[in-house]
Amino acid sequence: MSDETTNDPFDGEVLDLVVPHSLHEIRVDRVLSMLTGLSRSETSAILSSGGVTVNDKVVVKSSTTLDEGQHLVAVLPVPDSGVVEPDPTVEIDVVFDDPDFAVVNKAPGQVVHPGAGQRQGTLVAGLLALYPQMQELSTVGLCDPLRPGIVHRLDKGTSGVLVVAKTPEGYLNLTNQLAERVMERTYLGMVEGHVAENRGVVDAPIGRSTRTPTLMAVRADGRAARTGYEVLARIDKPHAMTLLRLQLDTGRTHQIRVHLATIGHPVVNDPRYGHRREKRLAEDRFFLHSTTLAFAHPRSGAWVTTSVPLPNDLRPLAPKDVEL
């Protein structure tokens, strides 16, 4: 969950889709690479092993082009062990440490858990080196072996606070708080253009895009999604932008980014749902930061609030006269 659910189909072992118009007449190896983040050599290996079918027929040639409407299925590789190996070289910024959980400040560019596009150097690998007991959450069947202790997650390009569980009690309680919308999650986001209303709520269901399967979109048959926003500052230079405080009421894949793009104000530097007008941010970085996380302590019930400031890479774009 968070602004990304923890069960996105492109993080799993099978890619299954109907080829959209945008991928018409594109080579199958390039399509697999585009959709999964795998290298061309890795996609070639999948093809040669017979792991790709088009309209239920095995395709082994990398040069095969796809047609709109075809049914593409590919079995994607996962880490050989099926589990995450602890990696003490991954830096973890612990904001709050508790026997049942930890709140950490995820760095921009860091991937939370292994997926088809990245297997090494994830936040989970660093957490397991720091908290080996998290691995037990997988062995008792509470978590996916690739996501032990992960309660919710953040996109690679999003920074800020997220909570992870260390014990079964912590995991069950925190995931329940998330599902029941008890947990409070606040973000800072800079968007393109001037948002007219000082406060508002985007209430629009989200599902996978039928035109571009790696993207999410507002869809009538999607899952309920609500994002509240408050204007903190409107900026004129170098171009019109608005700094928002955002509150998640639900947690769908890419929720904040989809909702803001839908109302005509995509997140600054978001290559998937907007555009890159600013060049002062890293390639995979957009102006979205999880600044505050609040929830009930799993055992005592006392309210826990954790916050981290806007990171240095985003500060040059933020107005200096606004306290963040």
DSSP-derived 3-state class of residue 28: helix
- Residue 236 falls in the annotated catalytic set: no
Q: Which residue has the tokens 């007219």?
A: 196
Structure tokens that stand for 203 in this block: 């209430």
Element (H, E) at 201: strand 199-203
Q: Are strands 206-208 and 184-192 parallel, antiparallel or unpaired?
A: unpaired
Which residue of the set 87, 155, 249, 321 is catalytic? 155
* Amino acid at residue number 23: L
C-alpha–C-alpha distance, residues 275 and 295, integer Å: 34
C-alpha–C-alpha distance, residues 232 and 141, integer Å: 43
DSSP-derived 3-state class of residue 185: strand
CA 233 to chain centre: 26
Structure tokens that stand for 11 in this block: 């993080």
Catalytic residues: 155
